[in-house]
Amino acid sequence: MGKDIIKVIVGQRRVGKSYFLSQIQDELLARTPSLHTISINKELYEFDQIKDYHDLISFVQRHEKNSASIALFIDEIQEIADFEKALRHFQAKGHYDIYISGSNAHLLSGELATFLGGRYVEIQMYSLSFPEFLQFHKLSATKETLQQYITFGGLPYLINLDLKESVVYDYLKSIHSSILLKDIVARHQIRNVSFLENLVKYLANNVGNLISAKKISDYLKSQRLSISPSIVLNYLEYLRAAFFTHNVKRLDIVGKKLFEIGEKIYFQDIGLKHAIVPYRPAMIGQVLENLVHNHLKYLDYTVHIGHLYDKEIDFIATRAEEKIYIQVAYLLADDATVQREFGSLLAIKDNYRKIVVSFDEWSSGTYEGVEHYSILDFLTSESFIPNRVSQR
């Protein structure tokens, strides 16, 4: 804050980027009440006339009042054509403290990233983690509140709604439509909207399964829809770039190489997934994987799917010098299940941390050095929380 570096906040629509910008502005004014601020939110009609970088520069110049120092806030900046030229202009002036937000992962791709190398910081926002969900709604960590989180997800605005399916899912469906139409269909000029919707439903039904563009294309052919693998790949990338999904690649544990074919796709907000395909108890396995994956991302881990000879390790999570192997199971109901889930991790011959996470109501400690966490304990355990999260 207050430094000559562009602050870029990115994330899915409705995760709280606008509110975060407002909090930053309040903090700056609390420190320096005389500071001149200019705020632009491209989702509001009053800023509809700002179409491109010419309009943006003109608007700011009309409102800067010859101030020696200006804090500039631009929300959903990707709606302004060639905005990077305006940012370059403002930064060259030297008296702007710049904060921007956007709902596209490629916000700083290409020319802007090259020009601003080392002169911007990107902060990704996610929907609420389970501990944040509890804090927002003033709830305690129980299996009942975990079920609420599983059912409705973590979009912050839910605090203003009754947590009832008839109410929440109407809201979530409107967010789902907004992301698809504004951030994908309009941005990429997609004509085959029905295919995009069918693809999203396919992904929602196949969370935790290895997929590929060819596999999806072959499935669509079986449904008498002819879509080439290259188009499928494009659409998958559009969904990822809109922060709607996470695409997780496979990593060979022995050879340390990434596989080019086959990945798993998880939804950035579990509630939005259930707004597409209603939650059923039979889905609990894929829901658990999605929850564990999202919590690891929230904790700033880089996540891969592990491949070890003929075995699959659900997640390899790395952060700096730290590495964790994680296996996700529904219930450890019998010895055969315990041997299978723990055995896959015991086959990894290194000394990094190894964990099994399950839907059991309690954690059973360790088994031959492999830790066991219930999903409730895993999501609330402070042993995973780095300093940066406790300071958020």
**Backbone CA torsion sign across 271, 276, 282, 286:** negative
Q: Which residues pair with 10 in a beta bridge?
A: 102, 124
Confidence of residue 110 (pLDDT cuts 50, 70, 90): low
- Summarised one tens digit per residue, pLDDT across range 155-172 is 999 999 999 999 999 999
For 190, list phi and psi in degrees, rounded to 5: -80, 135
**C-alpha closest to that of 377 among 390, 365, 391:** 365
* Contact assessment for residue 328 and residue 314, using Cβ atoms and an 8 Å cutoff: yes
| Cα end-to-end distance, the chain, whole Å | 15
> How far apart (Å, rounded) are the C-alpha atoms in residues 338 and 343?
8
Q: What percent of the chain has pLDDT over 70?
A: 95
Q: Is the pLDDT of residue 109 over 90?
A: no
Q: Measured at the alpha carbon of residue 160, what is the angle toward residues 204 and 168, in degrees to the nearest 5?
A: 30
Grouping H, G, I as helix, E, B as strand and the rest as coil, residue 44 is coil
> How far apart (Å, rounded) are the C-alpha atoms in residues 132 and 211?
31
Q: What percent of the chain has pLDDT over 90?
A: 74
Q: Is the pLDDT of residue 306 over 70?
A: yes
Confidence of residue 250 (pLDDT cuts 50, 70, 90): very high
Tokens 């602050």 map to which residue? 7
> How far apart (Å, rounded) are the C-alpha atoms in residues 346 and 355?
10
Confidence of residue 220 (pLDDT cuts 50, 70, 90): confident
> What is the pTM for the complete model shown?
0.91
Q: Is the pLDDT of residue 111 over 90?
A: no
pLDDT of residue 294: 97
> Which has the higher per-residue pLDDT, 226 or 206?
206
**C-alpha closest to that of 146 among 285, 314, 288:** 288
330: DSSP letter: S
Which of 35-49, 222-236, 337-351 is predicted least confidently? 222-236
Confidence of residue 364 (pLDDT cuts 50, 70, 90): confident
Domain ranges of the chain: 6-124, 130-390
Grouping H, G, I as helix, E, B as strand and the rest as coil, residue 120 is strand
pLDDT of residue 254: 86
Arch. (CATH architecture) of 6-124: 3-Layer(aba) Sandwich (3.40)
> Which has the higher per-residue pLDDT, 58 or 94?
58
Strand order in the sheet with 353-358: 258-267, 245-252, 302-308, 311-319, 322-328, 353-358, 370-374, 365-367
Strands 120-124 and 245-252: unpaired
DSSP one-letter string for 289-322: HHHHHHHHHHTT-EEEEEEETTEEEEEEEEETTE
**Backbone CA torsion sign across 321, 338, 311, 229:** negative
